[in-house]
């Protein structure tokens, strides 16, 4: 596996933001044609397919089982996903301060002008300016929270209580969509973590499933089990739904900040990014389990001790 060693050396020897680009460059460009507004455009294949093609090309002369190939691809995807989001966080920390200062000036100036303005049209224009400036401020706040989140306050948390509170926080949207949410978690099951951050994590997961639904009346189920991996005990919380599912090209960007499958203006695309960040800060991870057809399954792997 000489090529694998070279790849890992390259990954740890260069800035992490460049790692994904280099690996994409190694893989042969695979593109497929899609029809969009009567025009044919090229769209890159999901990263997993590019990595699979690279693996087939380099390991053609050697023997590797399909299971070994899948395990390698899954692990490499997780490494790239983590490095990509960490690089985004580092960028956001620097850019957030620079953007926030002029936005605060715009919002303050608009508010000052509005206080002395009597013309209805001008007042309306100033209200729009001030409102959009505040929207940018909220976006920057999410960016900064993703880049430099508060240190978790670790305590023993009743998982059933936190998950049910997360479900209750989305009651308005659930009722509006006539959806059903089931919580099948033992009341005695506890985990170590920050109670508030856990609430944010599961609220974002539930809300994402509800908002991604393409029809009313979907069913969401959250359950938990205890597992072991790498000699460590884990609590695995699984959320499943019978919604439209998550296409492969969407899975690749699901936890990216500002990425959203909804039309522009209907959401900032930060909910799942915050969930990923919270899990990562506690030493855990969030996985999207590939499924065929409709439905989505997301697993939260939570370590027993931090």
Least confident of 42-56, 83-97, 182-196, 240-254: 42-56
Cα end-to-end span (Å), the chain: 33
8 Å CB contact between 209 and 243: yes
- 300, pLDDT greater than 90: yes
8 Å CB contact between 255 and 306: no
Residue pLDDT, tens place only, 148-198: 778 899 999 999 999 999 999 999 999 999 999 999 999 999 999 999 999
- Measure the CA–CA gap between 24 and 35, rounded to whole angstroms: 24
CA distances from 276 to 92, 176, 254, 303 (A): 16, 27, 10, 14
8 Å CB contact between 299 and 221: no
Pairing of strands 155-158, 232-241: unpaired
The reported pTM is 0.62
Dihedral (Cα; 124, 127, 131, 134), 10-degree rounding:
160
pLDDT score, position 18: 40
Return the closest-CA partner of residue 47 out of 65, 71, 21, 67.
Answer: 21
- 45, pLDDT greater than 60: no
The residues with which 9 forms a beta bridge, in sequence order, are none
- Give, for 122, the enclosing helix (H) or strand (E): helix 120-147
Residue pLDDT, tens place only, 223-278: 999 999 888 999 999 999 998 888 877 777 777 776 665 554 444 556 788 888 89
8 Å CB contact between 236 and 225: yes
Contacts of 12 (CB under 8 A, 6+ apart): none
The residues with which 236 forms a beta bridge, in sequence order, are 225, 301
Rounded to the nearest 5 degrees, what angle is found at the Cα of 150, between the Cα atoms of 164 and 268? 65
Q: How many CB atoms are located within 10 Å of the residue 172 CB? A: 8
- Measure the CA–CA gap between 111 and 134, rounded to whole angstroms: 11
pLDDT score, position 51: 64
CA distances from 13 to 17, 86, 113, 196, 209 (A): 12, 16, 53, 37, 38
């Amino acid at each position: 596996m000489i090529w694998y060693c070279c790849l890992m050396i390259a990954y740890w020897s260069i800035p992490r933001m460049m790692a994904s680009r280099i690996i994409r460059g190694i893989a042969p460009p695979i593109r497929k044609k899609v029809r969009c507004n009567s025009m044919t455009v090229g769209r890159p294949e999901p990263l997993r397919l590019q990595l699979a093609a690279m693996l087939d090309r380099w390991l053609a002369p050697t023997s590797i089982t399909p299971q070994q190939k899948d395990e390698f691809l899954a692990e490499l995807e997780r490494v790239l996903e983590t490095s990509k989001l960490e690089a985004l966080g580092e960028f956001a920390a620097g850019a957030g301060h620079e953007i926030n200062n002029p936005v605060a000036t715009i919002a303050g100036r608009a508010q000052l002008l509005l206080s002395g303005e009597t013309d209805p049209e001008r007042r309306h224009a100033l209200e729009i300016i001030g409102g959009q400036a505040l929207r940018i401020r909220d976006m920057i706040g999410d960016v900064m929270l993703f880049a430099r989140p508060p240190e978790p306050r670790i305590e023993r948390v009743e998982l059933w209580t936190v998950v049910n509170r997360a479900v209750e926080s989305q009651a308005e949207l659930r009722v509006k969509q006539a959806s059903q949410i089931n919580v099948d978690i033992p009341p005695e099951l506890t985990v170590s973590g920050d109670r508030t951050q856990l609430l944010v994590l599961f609220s974002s997961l539930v809300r994402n499933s509800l908002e991604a639904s393409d029809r009313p009346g979907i069913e969401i189920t959250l359950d938990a089990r205890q597992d072991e991996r790498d000699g460590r005990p884990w609590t695995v919380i699984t959320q499943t739904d019978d919604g439209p599912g998550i296409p492969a090209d969407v899975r690749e960007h699901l936890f990216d900040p500002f990425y959203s499958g909804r039309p522009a203006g209907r959401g900032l695309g930060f909910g799942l990014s915050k969930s990923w960040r919270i899990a990562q800060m506690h030493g855990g991870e969030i996985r999207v389990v590939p499924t065929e057809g409709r439905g989505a399954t997301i697993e939260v792997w939570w370590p027993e001790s931090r």
